Structure 1
Amino acid sequence: MRRLGGLPVLLMLVACERPVDTGVQALPPSVADQGAATVEEQELDWLQMMPADELAALERGEGPEVEHNGSRRMPQFGTFRTVDAVLQRPVRLPGYVVPLASTAEGRLSEFLFVPYYGACIHVPPPPPNQIVHVVLERAIEMPDMYAPFFLAGNLHAERLDDELAGSAYSMRDARLKPYAP
């Protein structure tokens, strides 16, 4: 594998105003929890992956101030704390691919999955508990980094410290699906 060092990843956390109440609810019991034979993916909202106190702090605007001067990327903020209710259950998340590693043939083998595609490297990446680290069992064709996808599989609490960003979640059985609202 080769690392894609220096990739100009453009992530942005939009925090210009106090976020509007999203109405995010806890995940309903999964089909697996009800003892059914088949397990259905449940669409997960990224905000469900943040502990309640961190989400409240973000809503109060307690994140770092965005600075658009200088040439250094702003440091990542937030914690690696995860939410047990979203772990070990079949979910799908809408978001974007940030390549980390590829095969010699240029096929994607490892990536970060993030909630939005950004516009400025001077803005910090999302908090670690808003990023999923994915290692694919079989490499795939490099997807369009500007296109949204659904990431489907089971989330796990697993810390990754990477030069691009840290991640609190991982998915080993991941599948990328075209985004269709």
Structure 2
Amino acid sequence: MRTWIALALMLVLAGCERPVDTGVQALPPAPVQEGKATAAVAEQEVAEQELDWLQMMPADELAALERGDGPEVKHSGNRRMAQFGTFRTVDAVLDRAVRLPGYVVPLANAADGRLSEFLFVPYYGACIHVPPPPPNQIVHVRLSRPIDMPDMYSPFFLAGTLRGERVDDDLAGSAYTMVDPQLRPYEP
């Protein structure tokens, strides 16, 4: 009798698949508008949601990264390692007002020396050390109005509407851009 109970319990448990918990929360669905928007809905649309960098990677790429399937990092020689990963984006994070914590990697300055273009990356030293983060872990930013050069050692929030757009640069490729971005000091 015990054998049958144990066998039945094993069959029930074998049929249950538990999802892998990556610790990443999905963004809630965007609000659906029907008719006139109320003040509360308008405020919710304007309010940005904090985004985790891992939410910007497709699930299969995140799983591969967690398994350690990326290239072996070599800190010898004077050549930068090739960027790994893909330009695939995640639809759930696109066209949303978000803010993302990270660091600035300057790309271009205006004539007055102010910053006009940069890469926004998840950790300090990305794109300087080898290899650069995957393209879907980098946001390319072009500013319509240049800003004073931010401290590259300090974290910031980048806030705006995230878009999927491939940008190839000598330093690193990016899979995302941001529309109407604002760079603000990081406040936990």
- Report the TM-score, using the length of structure 2 for normalisation: 0.81
Asked if 1:24 corresponds to 2:13, the answer is no
Could you say which residue in structure 2 is the equivalent of 1:37? 42
**Contact 2:127 2:172 (8 Å CA) reproduced:** no
2-structure distance, mates of 1:33, 1:53: 29
Structure 1 residue 119, shift from structure 2 partner: 7.7
Question: Take 1:110 and 1:120, find their aligned partners in 2: how far apart are those partners?
Answer: 15
- Structure 1 ranges of 4+ moved more than 4 A: 119-122
Partners in 1 of 2:95 and 2:148 — Cα distance?
27
Q: 1:75-116: per-residue Cα shift (whole Å, max 9, x none)?
A: 100000000000001000000000111111110001000000
Gaps of 5+ in 2: 1-20
**CA–CA distance in structure 2, aligned partners of residues 93 and 134 of structure 1:** 13
- Contact 1:76–1:165, Cα closer than 8 Å, also in 2: yes
User: Which of 46, 50, 56 is 2:53 aligned to?
Assistant: 46
Match of 1:77 in 2: 84
Give the TM-score normalised by the residue count of structure 1.
Answer: 0.84
**Could you say which structure has the greater relative contact order, defined with CA pairs below 8 angstroms and 6 or more residues apart?**
1
Q: CA deviation at 1:37?
A: 1.6
Question: Structure 1, unaligned stretches of length 5 or more?
Answer: 1-20
Tell me if the contact between 1:96 and 1:114 (Cα under 8 Å) persists in the aligned partners: yes
Q: Report what 1:175 is aligned to.
A: 182
Cα distance in 2 between the residues matched to 1:72 and 1:172: 33
Q: Which moved more, 1:117-126 or 1:149-158?
A: 117-126
**How far is 1:50 from its partner?**
0.1
Cα 1:45–1:72 shift into 2, 3 Å: same
| CA distance in structure 2 between the aligned counterparts of 1:144 and 1:121, rounded to whole angstroms | 15
Cα-Cα RMSD: 1.6
- Return the offset for 1:67: 0.6
Overall identity of the aligned pairs, in %: 79
Change (3 A) 1:93 1:122: closer
Q: How many residues align?
A: 160
Output the CA distance in 1 between the equivalents of 2:68 and 2:87. Answer: 19
Query: Which residue type is aligned with residue 179 of structure 2?
Result: R
Q: Distance in 2 between matches of 1:131 and 1:121?
A: 13
Q: Secondary structure at the match of 2:72?
A: coil
The aligned residue for residue 10 of structure 1 is none
Structure with max Cα Rg? 2
**1:41 CA displacement:** 0.3
Query: Superposition pairs for residues 139-158 of structure 1, below 5 Å?
Result: 139-158=146-165
Aligned counterpart for 1:117 among listed residues 104, 114, 124: 124
Is the CA contact (8 Å cut-off) linking 1:152 and 1:174 kept in structure 2?
yes
